[in-house]
Amino acid sequence: MATRRILRIDNDDDKKILKAHCRPVRLPDRTLKQLVADMFETMHAANGVGLAAPQIGLPIQLCIIEIPAEVEEREDGSEVEVAPAEQYVLFNPKIVKMGGEELLRDEGCLSLPGWYGQVPRSAWVTVEFEDINGKERRLRKAGGLLGWAIQHEVDHLNGVLFTERIRDLSTLRDITNERALDNQPA
């Protein structure tokens, strides 16, 4: 496995690639297993939830998502995993339905680390895609973090950046210094 360089929105050369529409992937293709592994390694190294192929310079319709494990704290302070992490690999995804009320929440992107802004998204989506073997799949009414991530990553495949979804640009802010202050000893 290898960690790949993540292209940045604030780099003009990178942005040209990030703004391009991606081409469909012809499946099955055994060589893609290594790419998917590299993408998960790259995403984990950057502490992300999702990553789209154009973010590592590949203009193909592929994105990955990992919803973190759900952990509960016990009375004694120990933690127990109540739901495992869930990984999704979506080739040629298409959002076929969007529903529920529009939600507004802070959203960031690995292509603009540390920056967050208020982005409106649908409460849930239904997405059709192919798995790595070329089998057609469907996720119905994906909501919460999964639904949000699907919308963000599919936008990448269509050359749409999260900053373009922000209606009030005054909400876009760099929280890097806020995080540094939060980690200072009291």
Q: Which two tokens stand for residue 21?
A: 């529409």
Q: Is 173 exposed, middle or buried (0-12, 13-18, 19+ CB in 10 A)?
A: middle
pLDDT digits (tens, 9 = 90+) for 42-58: 999 999 999 999 999 99
pTM, rounded to two decimals:
0.91
Model pLDDT, residue 176: 85
User: Exposure of 3 by Cβ count < 10 A (0-12 exposed, 13-18 middle, 19+ buried)?
Assistant: middle
Q: Which residues are catalytic?
A: 153
What is the topology classification, in CATH, of domain 12-69+83-182? Answer: Peptide Deformylase (3.90.45)
Banded pLDDT at 113 (limits 50, 70, 90): very high
pLDDT of residue 184: 47
Tens-place pLDDT, residues 128-181 = 999 999 999 999 999 999 999 999 999 999 999 999 999 999 999 999 877 554
